[in-house]
Structure 1
């Protein structure tokens, strides 16, 4: 049981925030009935055909969930697997797909580590203190999001500042040497809004290894985890048509975990008496400019992410890894007719690994989507549809075209929704799979690997029975 203390500072001055500043620079402002992931633009949730789950900050606070694995554990269609205790490697398997078949975004920037052997995202070290909203979109989504989105997309949106200046702090403590602290400053003044937060989560003695698995006389080593996360989100409304934004996040983690030892004489495995130390530093930042020119609403973004990891294994020594990603993207939307919105986008991404080898891949992509809404198509019936096509050109494996279609039929009188989606997905080989050998683990790179591909669909009926 965690016990907490919450301190809050009231406003120091009467500050105001215009409505336009709240949706600045392409950063989505959470709304109960609107989602952004399904179509890459704000869309009423009742017009979304794909299966989607929305979790907001109120849900997280009510359940006292301190880490991302805790938040995602009960989401339908996800199987979350975590090794060890707090901070341990955590992967999700969406609708039976692999752990590297889910695209993860943080404030619009891909957050996976290019130096991971299979490119899978580690959810275990993500502190939930500054999360405003999570949208989990299931099914193949490469028609809008490209590689990795075979199983779906997890879109994490962090909190923004608004209103008068507010200063808050929390402190919690509990069993297993667990401590959790955070501090936040947020607010807005005229056209400027800001938020900065610092969070610390420590779990120093989590008992993971069952005692009956230990060899006689061997003492159990409890898992250790310590994480410090700093984040900020800024926005400035330059004019009525132009605003700028910045979101940044830094995480520094230290883990000590118990692995397995192997006795070659008996072929038996047992918990190792020594622990592996894992040091991880990660950065994720994105700057945006949101510009409205006539009927064209567009956003230009520049993002950078980096992860540096050092695994110190008692048996194999230090295993360093370093990878980063640079991305430039543009997206525009235009209402071409009543109920018809065209979304166009282009992006270029450079993924690279630097330790223990140096290699990189560039991907250029363009996509288009037509979002259509026909209220009253026939009396009492609304029809909504989304069609998207995306083309990726990769410097290593060449071109790949994917697509997605998602219609919805809504019957007003009975409050019934019939919806379906069908799409194609693909997963590009990771840089490690292409270029890096690990002879000690019998792993050898293959530069001739091609992308994995898939197609998937779902059909559903939503019916309100009471209320």
Structure 2
């Protein structure tokens, strides 16, 4: 494949004079409400931080029916799958690895406390039953505590605000005997609501590991997932609600040339109450999360269990017509156990206090400042802060700026395997964003965001197993994200280009598992087009390309989809992924799927 690094910036510049934030993100929709960017829901045009939105329509077009593939088109996001559907998949934001990203599902922190680093595996999460994703970029520890260093991914299950009973059904079949089923139900009354989602996926998978010692084994995958949420509002204004999910899955992998399997069960529950005391709006929530996974092969069986239990309080009150104060407390206990290595189990407490002031001195200017203090057993206390601004000198122009500090505590696993004589402390981070968005017409908008991120006192290991964790050195990421959208006749176009530079101290750049290992492509571009072919048939095309990837070749991959309206809220669709059957890797020595074809049916009733 020819080198792309010299042509991608030219393609991006030409495309983005007319194009936008990839379908996944429309931050300039003035009617959009953003939940994750502040301690209170905020209109999108009043948010100073950088937030991208992945909609339900975007998720329905995702390659492999995967949340990770839906996120791949968001500016600045890189996915790292070790194979096809179900394979372990990491995600980085602006080159910052999954170890520094907080992931929430319906308000439940789903990062895995039992892993070497506290991170979330996106490989097992499909788009079925998911309604919306917000990607909040930059150091957000002031709002979300430790691990929210590179950003926050907030995932919400599919819901409906329509009154009465509504149901949704989808079935899909395709390459490698892939089968997927999804059923959703929402019931909304005057004071109560209930939402249920059931999903199943199975696939024979691909030969994922193609490095030395490969056994040409497929990563077959099976998963069943249920999510449930509900709420009820009483006459006195008190609201109680809950969200819960459970997933049972089994993936297969190449264990040194022999078959291996990874059975995993994960579940989460959040119960909350909203109520008012005078002018203060209060929310109290209790959250639990548990993941139980094993690695089974002829070499043995190794089980890992991670748990998290949290209690939180948040209050919000107006202090003037132009200012609102939010404040709260949070405490959690995390633990892990494993059947291999020492110690076999460990746990710790984390406690935090936070506050945020939102102030609008004029109708065109919105300011916010957040401060948080966290204390973690065995590590100690640390403050973090964030300031943000959204300025609208014109109705169709928004200027954003934000700066934040963050931290990542060493994981329980890292503490257990610290190098002799090394006392691991928290990593520290700083980030700055500056962006501008211009709406040229109802259908056309462009945006540009410059970003800078730095981590200090990075934790790394120079060995694989057993690891020996050390600390020291700095790593920096900086660059720019360009995005746009427009409509040419009946053709809707969207696209984005991300340019990222990375630097690390020599002590980090030579490590196997340090921060510097997860280097992003210098150039990444995504383009999307869709248009009606007939009154009932719509066609779409998406292209994702990356160049100048450390240790990996450039690639271009294209997907096409066709949707036919059958009437009565039913649609049939055909999706062809990797149209050109491109051979490329997103993680060294791990293959990606070749050309794949899927057919499906969606029905609402």
The answer, yes or no, to whether TM exceeds 0.5 is yes
Counterpart residue number, 2:331: 348
Q: Deviations over 1:333-368 (max 9, x none)?
A: 111101201010110000011333221110110000
Unaligned 5+ residue runs, structure 1? 1-29, 262-271, 377-381, 438-442
Any idea what SS the aligned residue of 1:176 has? helix
- Of the candidates 264, 267, 274, which is equivalent to residue 283 of structure 1? 267
Q: TM-score of the superposition, structure 1-length normalised?
A: 0.83
Q: Kindly report which structure 2 residues correspond to 1:55-454, keeping only aligned pairs within 5 A, or say none.
A: 55-63=54-62, 66-160=65-159, 162=161, 163-209=163-209, 220-259=216-255, 261=256, 272=257, 274-315=258-299, 317-356=300-339, 357-376=344-363, 382-412=364-394, 415-435=396-416, 437=417, 448-454=423-429
Q: Runs in 1 of length 4+ with deviation above 6 angstroms?
A: 443-447
Q: By how many angstroms is 1:161 displaced?
A: 5.0
Partner of 2:567: none
Q: Deviations over 1:188-212 (max 9, x none)?
A: 23322111121001112324356xx
For residue 96 of structure 1, report the CA deviation from its aligned partner.
Answer: 1.7
1:116-152: CA deviation from partner (whole Å, max 9, x where unpaired) = 1111211111122111211001100011111001100
Asked if the contact 1:389/1:403 (under 8 Å) is kept, the reply is: yes
Separation in 2 of the partners of 1:423 and 1:133? Answer: 25
User: Structure 1 CA distance, aligned partners of 2:411 and 2:309?
Assistant: 16
Cα pair distance change 1:75/1:292, threshold 3 Å: same
Kindly tell me: are residues 66 and 122 of structure 1, through their superposed partners in 2, closer, same or farther at Cα, counting changes over 3 Å?
same
Q: What do residues 240-270 of structure 1 show as CA deviations (whole Å, max 9, x unaligned)?
A: 41011010000111001125x4xxxxxxxxx
Equivalent residue pairs, number: 409
Aligned counterparts of 1:48 and 1:91: Cα–Cα separation in 2: 27
> In the alignment, which residue of structure 1 is the partner of 2:583?
none
Contact 2:69/2:79 (8 A) holds in 1: no
| Unmatched segments (≥5 aa) in structure 2 | 1-28, 443-605
Give the Cα separation in 2 of the matches to 1:463 and 1:191.
40
Please report how far the alpha carbon of residue 38 of structure 1 lies from its aligned counterpart in structure 2 after TM superposition. Answer: 0.7
Correspondence for 2:545: none
Q: Is the 8 A contact 1:65 1:128 kept in 2?
A: no
Give the match's secondary structure for 1:165: strand
The alignment partner of 1:70 has SS state of: helix
Partner Cα separation in structure 1 for residue 399 and residue 189 of structure 2 = 45
CA–CA distance in structure 2, aligned partners of residues 147 and 332 of structure 1: 21
Q: Structure 1 residues 241, 87: CA separation in 2 closer, same or farther (over 3 Å shift)? A: same
Query: How far apart, CA to CA, are the structure 2 residues paired with 1:406 and 1:219?
Result: 52
Q: In the alignment, is the contact (CA less than 8 A) between 1:403 and 1:424 conserved in 2?
A: yes
Equivalent-residue separation in structure 2 for 1:73 and 1:252 (angstroms): 25
Q: Contact 1:434–1:445 (CA<8 Å) still a contact in 2?
A: no
State how far apart, in whole Å, the 1-side matches of 2:43 and 2:31 are. Answer: 9
SS of 2:57's partner is helix
1:463, distance to aligned residue in structure 2 (A): 2.0
